[in-house]
Amino acid sequence: MAAAYLGTVTVGGSVPGLSASFAALKGALVALSSTVSVETTAILTAEVAVDDALAALGIAKSAARLAAVASLQAQLDGAVKANLDLTAALSDPTAFAAELSAGLAQLTTNFQLFVGLPAISGQIAANVKVQAGLSAEIATIDEAFGAMSPFAAIDQSLALQLTAFSSIRAAFGTAFTAAVAASAAAASMTVSLAAPGVHVLLYTGPLSGLGAAVDASLAGGAAGGMGGGVNIRVPIVLVEESNTAGVAGVDAVFKTS
């Protein structure tokens, strides 16, 4: 049997494979946290851009609608005004006569116009029909802009982008939280692995060579009933109890309870 002294190292030095893996893991988690943070900012910027695009689209849509119905609206307003004027004239024939009179010489002619009041009523009816037609045309245009125009497809596309951005940002947020928590755990383990003052030996030989205390602990059938004559190969990590950092590091890495 033999016990080879491998030196005084840190806790991590006693488990070099684990130390190397944790170093790589810690670096990867830090990089992941940074990347997620950057990408989350980019997503937020993209969301703002899409919001601005939706607002601009709304303005453009309103402007296009106004341009499309401007002529019809002007005609409709004119027809409405004409009806209001004619209705006012019918309700106040004296005022109507006064407006038509250019002077006393034309008074007789102006009163003859009242004979045509039924014709004015017909004109009002015609104007109402024109108003109804123009209103229907404007409604048709509004329907096109509201449902069938390309604006609707663009609206839907931008809304879907916003939903997707929101989902991606939420996923990034979850990933970032997990990465930060994992980075903190890795950082804590890195501190434990860095604790100094640990002595490492490699023992090869019969189990009984480790001493009476080990024999006694295995007497009850522990370790699968392994007998004292079984040859073993085991690293032994020694740390003085007064080395509190070393004890804490060993407790963090190895099963000690």
Quick: pLDDT tens for 7-62.
999 998 888 887 787 778 778 878 887 888 888 788 888 778 777 777 777 777 77
Lowest mean pLDDT among 3-7, 78-82, 144-148, 157-161: 144-148
Whether residue 201 is predicted with pLDDT greater than 50 in this model: the reply is: yes
Q: For residue 105, what is the DSSP state?
A: G
Count how many Cα atoms sit within 13 Å of the Cα of residue 217 in the half-sphere of its side chain.
7
Query: Token pair of 96, please?
Result: 């109507």
Can you give the pTM of this predicted structure? 0.46
- 12, burial (CB in 10 Å: exposed 0-12, middle 13-18, buried 19+): buried
Cα separation, 29 vs 24, whole angstroms: 9
Q: pLDDT-based confidence at 88, cuts 50/70/90?
A: low
pLDDT digits (tens, 9 = 90+) for 174-193: 887 887 787 788 788 888 88
The pLDDT score that the predictor gives to residue 119 is 54
Cβ count near 250 (within 10 Å): 19
Cβ count near 133 (within 10 Å): 14
Q: For residue 106, what is the DSSP state?
A: G
The mean pLDDT value of the chain amounts to 74
Q: Residue 125: name the closest of 96, 90, 94, 98 by CA.
A: 90
Residue with tokens 């034309």: 106
Cα separation, 205 vs 207, whole angstroms: 6
Cα separation, 55 vs 162, whole angstroms: 13
Q: Which amino acid is at 65?
A: R
What contacts 12, CB < 8 A, 6 or more positions away? Answer: 18, 19, 22, 193, 194, 249
Cα separation, 44 vs 39, whole angstroms: 9
